[in-house]
Structure 1
Amino acid sequence: MKFDTEAEVRDFLRLCLEPRPGLTRTPARLAEIMPGPLFEALVRFAPHLRVLHDQVEEQEKAARAARRAYGAALAAWIEDEPAREDDALPPTLCEQNRLGDKAEPQYHHYRRDGAGVLRCVFCGVPEGWGDEPARGYRTPDGREWMRAAEDDERGAALYESPFVGTRFTALALEVLHGSIEDVETPTARTFVFKERSVNRTTKHIPSPTNHLLTLCRDVASRPMSAEDAARLALCGGCRKEFLDSLPLDLEAGGYPDTAYADLP
C-alpha cells in the first residue's frame, strides 16, 4: 500500500487499530510498535507528531538512565558501600539552552545534521549521548571504527573499520591503542554578546549571513567561550529567529509500502 495522500495514511492507521475481528489496539499501543516506514509516512502529513515522538524518546532514555543510576545506588546501599559521586542521576537538560532571568536549563532541541544524526542545535550533543553505545570511535592512527550491526556474545557493542577483518569492543580498542576518541564529540554553537552591552548577562547568536551582527540585529562581539555561554540565558529575540529558521525534521525520499500484517 502506498501513502500518497493524507486519507490513505489515516485509512491504513485505522486498519492497524483493528487488524482483524476480535483484535484491537489502542492508539498508544500503535504508537509504540509503529514500523519506521509507516511513521515516516505519518509525519510527512503531521510533522508535529515527530516533535512529540522525539520528546517521548528523549524522556524515555532519561528515565532508563535514571533507573540504572537508582538501581546502582540501591545495590551499593544494600552492601553498605559508600555513596559515589556518579550515583547522582545523570543530567537530562541542555546547559547551553538556558531561559529566563535565572538562566534555567531547558531540554535539548534535536534536529538532524548533514550526516542524518539527531543533534541538539544548542550544544551539539547527539540524541542518546551517554546512554546508548557510541556510533563510532577514532583511534590515534586516524582510523574510524563505526558501530557494527551485531554485538558480541555478551551483548557488548562491536566496532568495525574498512579493510580490517576483525571487530572489536570499545574496551578492546582502548586496550590496543591506548586511547580512543568518540567520533560524536559534541561542539556547542557559537554565541556572542551585544558589543555595546554593559552588563552582558545574556548571550546572542550571530547572524548566519553577517557574523558582525546578532540574530536580533545588533552589533555582535567576538565569540565567547563555551564555558561562559553555558552560564547565560539566550536572548529571546535570537531564540525566536533561530528556532523559526530551523527546517522541519522531515527526511526526503520515498515511503516504502507497508502491510499491517507486518505489525506485531
Structure 2
Amino acid sequence: MGVVLEVEGLSFRYDKKQDRSNISDVSFQLREGEWTALIGHNGSGKSTLAHLLVGLLQPDAGQLKINGTVLRKESVSWDIGIVFQNPENQFIGTTVEDDVAFGLENINMPYKQMRERVDKALEDVGMTEYRMADPSQLSGGQKQRVAIAGMLALQPKVLILDEAFVMLDPRSRKELMDTIRKLTNKGMTILSITHDMEEAAHADKVMVIKQGKVAKIESPSQLFFTDSSLEKPFAEKLRNALKNRKCNVPEKYMTEAEMVLWICKSN
C-alpha cells in the first residue's frame, strides 16, 4: 500500500504569545486502504490536528503531502474530507441525493458527471434505496452514511471521521463500522478520531496523541496488549479479568471474535 498522506513536522499554536504549541512537530503517514484511529484525552490535540489537515487552520510550521505533492495553503483542496459527529449540521438538501450532490453543485460539475458520482457514493455507503428520502427522517447511522457519501462524491484521497460514532446506537455503530471497512477494502484511506476503544480496536493502526505530540503508532494488538495506561477494549478487559481469576487464557491480545471463538472451544 502506497503512502497517500504524509504529515511532516506539523506545529500550531492558538495563542501565538504562548511558548507551548497545541500541536508540536507532528509527523506520520497514512497509507492507501488503511484505517487509522486517532485517540487521546480531551485537550490532547485530536480535533486541532484534524482541522489542520483539512485546512480549517493553518500550521505555524510543517507541511502536508498528498501522493507526494505538497498541499499549498493558498489553494483549495478536496483531497482530504471530514465528517463531524453531528451529520445534521452538514445537511443542506431536502432529499438524500440532493444533499450528496450539494458539494458537486458548488464546484459547477456537469450534470452527467455529478449524477455518476452521486450514484457511486450512495452505492458505496449502502444508501441507494434512500436517495429520495428526507435526511432528517433517517436513523443516526443512516445520517452518518449520507454525510460520508457527500464527502465521497468529492472523491477525497483521505476521509476524516471526527467522533462520527459518538451519537449512534449499537446497531448503527455496527453498520457504520461495516461501511468503513468496505470503503478501505475499495482503497479509501480513513482517519477516525475517537474516544471509544471498541472503535479503535477495529482499525488497522492506532495513533496516540498526548499534549499535541504523537506518542505511539501501533496496531491495536500491539497497543492494547502492552500499554497499561490505556482503557482496554471489552475483549481485552475480559481476557485480563479471566486471567486474574486464574483461568488459562491465551497470553496475547484477542479481538472480540477471537475471544468468542476461544470461549466456545474452551467449553
Q: Same fold (TM over 0.5)?
A: no
Pick the TM interval, shorter chain: under 0.3
TM-score normalised by structure 1 residue count = 0.25
Identify, as 1 or 2, the structure richer in strand.
2
Q: Which has the higher contact order (CA 8 A, sep 6+)?
A: 2
Query: Which protein has the larger Cα radius of gyration, Structure 1 or Structure 2?
Result: 1
TM-score normalised by structure 2 residue count = 0.25
